[in-house]
Amino acid sequence: MSALPVFHLAVPVDDLAAARRFYGELLGLAEGRSTDHWVDWDMWGHQFVTHLAPGAGAAAGTSTVDGQDVPVPHFGVLLAAPEFHRLAARLRDAGARFVVEPRLRFEGEAAEQWTMFLHDPAGNALEFKAFTDPGQVFAR
């Protein structure tokens, strides 16, 4: 693990076996410590935890971004473009149901980026994206 800051996020899930299939098998995240109530995941170097919360279900609204309705709230990861495209292909090959299909948005602008959204089995919304120019992530 690097000396850089590491983000920590915990989300509720209602089925740890389904979470293991989604995060471990489908997304390919390495499983860390776990109990019968939670599982730690290595989400591209960040600590991500799925906590068992029976009845959990993320009811999400939407917000329009570049002509697409995106789920709110959501969380995700900024990836390098090759990793984004590998993950998108892996998800497509597995028959994942996207909320927003992998697409390029803000084309030709400083914030040009590839993005995709999907839900985990508990209804938590995830976004994965890759900026064409990673130096523009916080550009105004």
- Label residue 58 by pLDDT band (50, 70, 90): low
CA-to-CA distance for 8 and 30, rounded, in angstroms?
15
**Domain match, 28 and 92 both:** no
Mean local confidence (pLDDT), 1-23: 86
Domain assignment present for 129? yes
What is the per-residue pLDDT for 7? 84
- Domain assignment of residue 91, yes or no: yes
Same domain? 36 vs 77: no
DSSP 21: I
Q: Quick one: pLDDT band at residue 5, thresholds 50, 70, 90?
A: confident
pLDDT mean across residues, the chain: 91
Q: What is the per-residue pLDDT for 72? A: 87
In a domain, 99, yes or no: yes
Structural domain of 26: 8-52
The total domain count for the chain is 2
pLDDT tops 80 at residue 6:
no
CA distances from 16 to 11, 35, 61, 109, 136 (A): 12, 10, 24, 40, 37
- pTM score, two decimals? 0.87
Question: In terms of domains, do 129 and 66 share one?
Answer: yes
